[in-house]
Structure 1
Amino acid sequence: MEVALNDFLSIPAVNAGLYLALARLGFRRQFAYLQAALWGLVTNLFFGLLRISILLALFDGRPQVAGLTGGDAVTYVALTQTFIASFSLFGWSEFMRTIHRGEVATDLLRPLDLLASWAAQDAGRAAGQFVLRGLPMLVLFALLWGARMPALPPETLLSVVPAWACGFAYRFLVNCAAFWSPDAVGIGRFAWVLLGLGCGFLMPLRLFPDWLRAALAWTPFPSMLNTTVELWLGLKTGAAAWGALGVQMGWTVALLGLCAWVLRRGLGRLEVAGG
């Protein structure tokens, strides 16, 4: 695992410009369909209103539930709706399709590390989606329903990058199932449900039973969204906040190393056009 991670981290500096170009391409591609982005924003706002209504009904006049206030619940919905597209919380199967179609063989001919090139493209895509849908969503939730700005801006901002990176590594691992299974899409459907539950998108993790929260704490899922949300809400402060950031970084490094190892194994058995 350590060797695989070192391979990923030792990308030649001369290729840095190529990865930046891929990131820019991924960013610009999101602006090709502005009307789709607009309707996506409208859809997210509609479902955000429904989720706010459901969560606030849980309070039933109580000032707090599991340490969350009504304002926290509104801001939680705003954040989770904001990051749906940027973090691909409903799934991502682009790499899977290149494997099934054999297009990955062409990718291997390019003078780029395969994992790093996909990470660069996804980083650009995530940034583009945040600009197009994320920022307007935050502003609208703040104006319409009083969503709050981050309680810990520096720590929250720092947590967004490993949250995306950790989520990308998980999605890439799921896509690598296509090397071994012709039904990787089915595996993906299960994996995306698991992601939505474990990262705190479907429901705040603080509302889960203690035993389930304790179990999830041993997984990378909370690092993919929940940590950012709790830092934004100020539910983790001081040493706890920096500890949470450390956990995020640890899971990111571990998952990227696992990605590099699994990718190497998958490419070792890849057959394109029978050879």
Structure 2
Amino acid sequence: MSGVQLRKLGALWRLGVAEATAYRTSLLVWVLATTMPLISLVLWRALARGGPIGDYDQAGFDSYFIAAFVVRQLSVSWVVWDLDGQIRTGALSALLMRPVHPVAHHVMINLAALPLRTALAAPVAIAVLLVTGGMSITTNPVALALAIPALVLAWCLNFLTQLAIGCLAFWLTKAAALYDVWIGAYVVLAGYLVPTSLFPAGLAEVARVLPFHAALGFPVELLIGRLSSAQALAGIGLQLVWLVVIGGIAALAWRRGLRAYGAFGA
């Protein structure tokens, strides 16, 4: 990557930080809107008071749902809403005229908000840690080495999924509404409300190979030490498979969408 390209990306990063700072109240609302794992923690902790549920006791639920909250904060994206609005209003045309690819623009804008989002979420996570007594972290060296890559891939999966759905705005009036369907499935199948290992037999196996689990449940289980080295490596492999599949769909939708966009003279 050339120095010119790095300077362009740096400028986008600074723009993203400025936007996140300017809209910090909205960002805080977004953080609070993703506290469902902490609500689930209270519920499952109470249910486990009389004894373990499946392979989770109270401490296990504490670790799982605190980690789920953290992973969700670090892997969030909102490109689907930005892209949907830009396509519908024609604002995408201005992005296409810039010397930086529009997708790179969205990547940097989304990433630049993560530090502030993390800072806003930290007091919530710390408060829960103090109330519950903390969470366990894996001591498996393989899992520890894979934790950061797993989080990065989780973010990439969420971003590319939203990009693919956002590209549907090239043909549909309100593509972002379709993301509500995806997020509904995500909430149920990703391990967001209940660990997938507690799903009924059959459903658990299916859920664990879907992209929803790859984007949340897998990195959570990796962080809290519920996966062997072999399972951790297999999980990273599955993340990469879904990254290629969803990335290919997003790239195809982008290329064909731009042709449709240009055909209307936008």
Structure with greater contact order relative to length (CA < 8 Å, sep ≥ 6) = 1
Equivalent residues of 2:49, 2:58 under 8 A apart: no
Aligned-residue sequence identity (percent) comes to: 23
Counterpart pick for 2:134 among 147, 156, 161: 147
1:32 alignment counterpart: 22
Equivalent residues of 1:199, 1:226 under 8 A apart: yes
State the Cα deviation string for residues 25-82 of structure 1 (Å, max 9, x = none).
Answer: 323432334455556666766x5653222112332511x3232221121122222233
Query: Does structure 1 residue 214 correspond to structure 2 residue 205?
Result: yes
CA distance in 2, matches of 1:48, 1:192: 14
CA distance in 2, matches of 1:39, 1:94: 17
Query: Does structure 1 residue 137 correspond to structure 2 residue 124?
Result: yes
2:235 alignment counterpart: 244
Q: 1:17 to 1:213 in 2, by over 3 A?
A: farther
Once the two structures are TM-superposed, the CA of residue 202 in structure 1 deviates from its matched residue by 2.5
TM-score (norm 2): 0.85
| Equivalent runs, 1:7-86 vs 2, <5 Å | 14-36=4-26, 50-62=39-51, 64-86=52-74
Query: Does structure 1 residue 170 correspond to structure 2 residue 161?
Result: yes
Q: 1:254 to 1:48 in 2, by over 3 A?
A: closer
| Equivalent runs, 1:184-203 vs 2, <5 Å | 184-203=175-194
Equivalent residues of 2:84, 2:174 under 8 A apart: no
Partner amino acid, structure 2, of 1:131: A
Q: 1:41 to 1:274 in 2, by over 3 A?
A: closer
Query: Does structure 1 residue 179 correspond to structure 2 residue 179?
Result: no
State the Cα deviation string for residues 179-228 of structure 1 (Å, max 9, x = none).
Answer: 11113233122122122222221222112122222222332211111111
Once the two structures are TM-superposed, the CA of residue 95 in structure 1 deviates from its matched residue by 1.0
1:161 alignment counterpart: 152
Counterpart pick for 2:246 among 255, 269, 272: 255
Structure 2, unpaired ranges of 5+: none
Q: 1:206 to 1:90 in 2, by over 3 A?
A: farther
Q: CA RMSD in A?
A: 2.8
Structure 1, unpaired ranges of 5+: 1-10
CA distance in 1, matches of 2:91, 2:33: 33
Aligned length: 262
